[in-house]
Amino acid sequence: MRAHRVVKPLVGISCCSKQFGFFGMPYDAASNTYVETTDNIVGAVPILIPANGPAADIETLLERLDGIILTGSRSNVHPSYYDGPPHAEGTWEDPARDGTTLPLIRAAVSRGVPVLAICRGFQELNVALGGSLHQRLQDLPDRLDHSSPLVASRELRMAKAHSVRVTLGGWLHRLAGASEIAVNPLHNRGVDRLGPGVVVKAPVPAGTIEAVNVVATPAGAIPGFAIGVQWHPENDWQTDRVSRGIFELFAQAVHVYAEDGRMGGVSAAAD
């Protein structure tokens, strides 16, 4: 008699379009840190979502995925998506990723598929839902420089750089058990105008928004689980309780959606 096999949820991980090797061959790539957290914390099967722009079949993806991780990246959301000024010369862009993730986010949020957005993914989440970005936080008055330090040591690049205030009573406050936490941001961009339905859960004292959750879909309905952080919990989840907790919270939503969401419900919402 065949033993019952537990089928794991599927979690999509957004890729970037990058060039590698001597000949600069194009690849779809994502950091292995997101694969590791999906394997070890979420308890799901990681599925890489290629940056294939208009060829992306959003409906088919969402028919099969039980959650989505929007990854960090050196590239930046193209300013045409939020009516921003042109990027400075030399700015890394990835139009194929933009063409995949932005419609994917809108459809996933409307459908209730759990979304965890990190760094570039955090910015994508806000832009996809109608928000805008500052392109260089370090040029704004009284703002901290959140960009990656140009040092060879990974430990130094990923070290906690500053604190954020946590919105009392929200998901991050309950997770951290504190009103302030230290984070490891690596970014130049930051939220300017919040998208409708996106609310702040952790601002930096100088005014930069570092964590959000979505409380309404583009159509005005209540969404499922959709949160974003501007820092990098995937880089220290083995040593930092809050970083691990972010993925555990996402894991709960993924498993609820996998079990109940496909029967007409949605994942548990964050608040």
Out of 78, 134, 232, 255, pick the active-site residue: 232
* Tokens linked to 15: 């890729």
> Of the listed 78, 187, 234, 255, which one is catalytic?
234
Distances (CA, A) of 41 to 31, 33, 59, 178, 199: 16, 11, 27, 22, 26
Of 88, 120, 87, 85, the C-alpha closest to 105 is 120
> Is 119 annotated as catalytic?
yes
**What Rg do the C-alpha atoms of the chain give, in angstroms?**
18
Q: Is 146 one of the annotated active-site residues of the chain?
A: no
Alpha carbons 41 and 37: distance in angstroms, whole number: 5
Judge whether 87 counts as a catalytic residue.
no
DSSP 17-83: EEEETTTTEEEEE--HHHHHHIIIII-SEEEEE---GGG--HHHHHHH-SEEEE---SSB--GGGTT
Beta bridge partners of 118: 229
Element (H, E) at 249: helix 241-260
Burial (CB count <10 Å: 0-12, 13-18, 19+), residue 177: exposed
Distance CA 265, CA 267 (A): 7
As given in the structure block, the two tokens for residue 178 are: 């504190």
Pairing of the two strands 115-118 and 67-70: parallel
Active-site hit among 78, 119, 146, 187: 119
Contacts of 17 (CB under 8 A, 6+ apart): 26, 27, 28, 51, 94, 96, 97
What residues act catalytically?
119, 232, 234
